[in-house]
Structure 1
Amino acid sequence: MRFRMDWRSVTFDWNRARAFLVTAEEGSLSAAARALGMTQPTLGRQVDALEAELGVVLFERVGRGLTLTPSGLDLLDHVRAMGEAANRMSLAASGQSQSLEGPICISAGEVDAAFLLPPILARLRAEEPGITIEVVATNATSDLQRREADIAIRSFRPTQPDLIARKVRDGRGRLYATPGYLDRVGNPSATDDLSSVDFIGFDRTDELIGYLNGLGLKLTQAHFPLVSANQLFQWEAVKQGLGIGVMSEDVGDAEPLVRRALPDLAPVPFSIWLTAHRELSTSRRMRFVFDLLAEGLAR
């Protein structure tokens, strides 16, 4: 039987509802407690209190995790909608702020955060020292609708209708290595035998291999003895002479320790997009930072 509830008979406590929502999404009390920045016992008491208040069991314990009961599943849709409404209310309120002073959170990939953002943020701090900045350096996609960031620098255009985006520019990636490494492997070209050449990859999938082979190379997993999802580690490995890696021209051409490898190979195209929530476009602080980032990244 599906869960039905007379909301008029309940004294609503959003903290309990939020505890339930995050626990359902994270799958365990420990993960939810970390996400909410509270202790696990406190979170557990809030979930227990909600169950007692509603008179239903919302979770069943499975191993070390939790699974929703049928009543919990039915309630989840309602609470999730309430959470989204609360986010929209917060976004709308913050979007009406006309003060330049205050915090802004920027999400960017590891390379963009390390190499492209610092000079832009230096200008930002000089022009508006009242704006404080948090940078989330991650290759994962931050959820702007859940306020994981205010502005995101991305390599793709968002599809969510509540987000606005501006394409800043197109970029190009190249292969780089140290001169010493290239000398050791005979300074190969794209048409040479690359059996003795090491490349540095992102992971053990064939995505990068397939792309490079589409440009005319003949690579296999054997060419990638070193992989890491961390872009800064990849780049440092290239600079230390461990092999050939991909980097944007902005960063690669400015690094004196490396030079382009296989220079006759076609570049790897990519785009740079700035993304923010639509309701934040009315915020004076948000607009100032967004426009300054767009100008800086366009260079």
Structure 2
Amino acid sequence: MRVFLAVARAESLTGAAPVLRMDPATLARRIGRLERTLGASLFVKSPQGYALTDLGERMRDRAADAETQFNRAIDEGQGASEALTGQIRIGAPDGAANFILPKVCVAIQAANPKLEVQILALPRVVNLSRREADMAVMVSQPVAGRLSVQKITDYQLHLATRRDAPPIRNRDDLRGRPIVGYIPDMIFDKELDYLGDLAAGGVNLASNSVAVQLQMLRHGGVGVVHDFVMPSAPELHQVLRDVFSLRRSFYLVRHSSDRHSDRLTRFSTALMQGMQAEVARLEQRARLTGSTVI
């Protein structure tokens, strides 16, 4: 079941191999043996990867339910006073994944040495129903699915550009400046559509990655930057704060069937507290180090 679920989620042998700590050839043999036992194909195999058949999709859902029940039994056997163990995977947009979660997760793992924490950074919404992750940080609340949602914290965003760029005192000064932002047709969440009418003339330098956008801004242009990112880019400063200021929120989303998991609840509590503290710390540091220009 573990092998089948890992390959189904990764959609390839090479993607599942590191998760299971097995080589792809071993995984291929295990999948082949399972299919021979069933007398039916679970995957359509191609150079692009392993895609589930209709039967495979039904089996994935049943196997994921069985996995949930098994993990719940393990949780019940782990005393609340004991350190966390096992593997926990968090899905997150790459802004949080790059600039917030690493410090937070390192601290949680240091307090729980037998715990393995994985951060899944994706330019799309993480599919918890397919168990791509145990929980996900999202920038808007999902409206469908058997999910539980908790607000983590608010965060702020402002326009930023290089400190040595020509000054920007009003919107007219933005004319002729290359605009940095998301690839318009790859914005996977409406809360990430930051630019509005500022991008009316088009986005000159675009990426689906916050980290790549930051690198672009380091070399020129104007774009929206999270306040908690500013300490990582001392060559940038914020502009037009009085006319352009955004507030967004992070939410922690879990599958509703995990609400009785003591292990995941303890981890999610530590994760939320850590994210709240880290966002506050970085935003305060941005203000104190002069990243802002009022």
Is the Cα contact below 8 Å between 2:83 and 2:111 reproduced in 1? no
What RMSD over aligned residues (CA atoms) do the two structures have, in Å? 3.9
- Structure-1 separation of matches of 2:49 and 2:120: 28
Q: Which amino acid aligns with 2:170?
A: S
The 1:32–1:251 alpha-carbon spacing in structure 2 relative to 1, beyond 3 Å, is closer
Runs of 4+ in structure 1 off by over 4 angstroms are 38-68, 206-211
Q: How does 1:62-81 map to 2 (within 5 A)?
A: 73=54, 75-76=55-56, 78-81=58-61
For 2:178, which of 187, 193, 198 is the aligned residue? 198
**Aligned in 2, Cα 1:126/1:61: closer, same or farther, shift over 3 Å?**
closer
Q: Which residue identity does 1:113 align to in structure 2? A: A
Q: Distance in 2 between matches of 1:137 and 1:45?
A: 30
Go from structure 1 to structure 2 and tell me whether the alpha carbon gap of 1:102 and 1:147 turns closer, same or farther (over 3 Å shift): farther
Match for residue 157 of structure 1 among 103, 117, 141 = 141
**Aligned twin of 2:283:** none
Tell whether 2:230 aligns with 1:246: no
Amino acid across the alignment from 1:102: T
CA distance in 1, matches of 2:30, 2:186: 46
* Equivalent residues, number: 266
Is this contact kept in 2: 1:173–1:246, CA < 8 A?
Answer: yes
Quickly say closer, same or farther: Cα 1:253–1:188, change in 2 above 3 A. Answer: farther
TM-score, scaled to structure 1: 0.69
The verdict on how the C-alpha distance between 1:295 and 1:36 changes in structure 2, with shifts beyond 3 A counting, is closer
**Offset at residue 63 of structure 1 (A):** 9.9
Say which SS state the counterpart of residue 196 (structure 1) adopts. coil
1:290–1:127 distance in 2 versus 1, CA, 3 Å: same
**1:41-52 alignment runs, 5 A limit:** none
Aligned to 2:85: 102
- Aligned partner of 1:237 in structure 2 is 216
**Which letter does structure 2 place at the counterpart of 1:212?**
L
What displacement does 1:230 show? Answer: 2.0
| Contact 1:95–1:282 (8 Å) recurs in 2 | no
8 Å CA contact retained: 1:198, 1:225: yes
Give TM-score scaled by structure 2 length.
Answer: 0.70
Aligned-partner Cα distance in 2 for 1:206–1:152? 20
Higher CA-based Rg: 1
Secondary structure of 1:144's aligned partner: coil
For the 8 Å contact 1:253–1:259, the answer to whether it is kept is: no
1:285 equivalenced with 2:263 (yes/no):
yes
Equivalent position of 1:225 in the other structure = 204
Change beyond 3 A, Cα 1:189–1:91: farther
Alpha-carbon contact 1:180-1:241 (below 8 Å) kept? no
* 1:166 CA displacement: 0.8
Q: Secondary structure at the match of 1:265?
A: coil
- Tell me the alpha carbon deviations over residues 2-29 of structure 1, each in whole angstroms, 9 at most, x when there is no partner: xxxxxxxxxxxx689x49x967x98xxx
Q: Which of 34, 39, 62 is the equivalent residue of 1:82?
A: 62
Distance 1:57 1:151 in 2: 30
Q: Which residue of 2 aligns with 1:173?
A: 157
The separation in 1 between residues aligned to 2:66 and 2:140, in whole angstroms, is: 27
CA-CA distance at 1:196 after TM superposition: 1.3
The CA distance in 2 between the partners of 1:130 and 1:35, in whole Å, is 23
Measured in 2, the distance between the counterparts of 1:168 and 1:81 equals 29
Q: Which residue of 2 aligns with 1:133?
A: 117
What residue identity is the alignment partner of 1:170? D
Change (3 A) 1:188 1:109: same
> Against the structure 1 CA distance between its residues 47 and 206, is the aligned structure 2 distance closer, same or farther, given a 3 Å change threshold?
closer
Percent identity between the aligned chains?
24
After superposition, where does 1:11-50 map in structure 2 within 5 Å?
Answer: 18=4, 32-37=12-17
What's the CA shift for 1:243? 1.1
C-alpha change, 1:15 and 1:144, in structure 2 (3 Å) is: closer
Aligned equivalents of 2:43, 2:266: Cα separation in 1? 45
SS in 1 for 2:142: coil
Runs of at least 5 residues in structure 2 that lack an aligned partner in the other structure: 281-294
* Residues 95, 157 of structure 1: alpha-carbon distance in 2 compared, 3 angstrom cutoff: farther
Partners of 1:288 and 1:111 in 2: CA distance? 24
Is the 1:106–1:136 contact (alpha carbons within 8 Å) kept by the matching residues of 2? yes
> Given the superposition, is the C-alpha separation of residues 142 and 95 from structure 1 closer, same or farther in structure 2, using an over 3 Å criterion?
farther
- Residues 61 and 67 in structure 1, CA contact (< 8 A), matched pair in contact too: yes
* AA of the residue aligned to 1:252: M
Give, as a single letter, the amino acid of the residue that structure 2 aligns with 1:231: V
Shift of 1:273: 0.6
- 2:184 & 2:33 partners in 1: Cα distance? 46
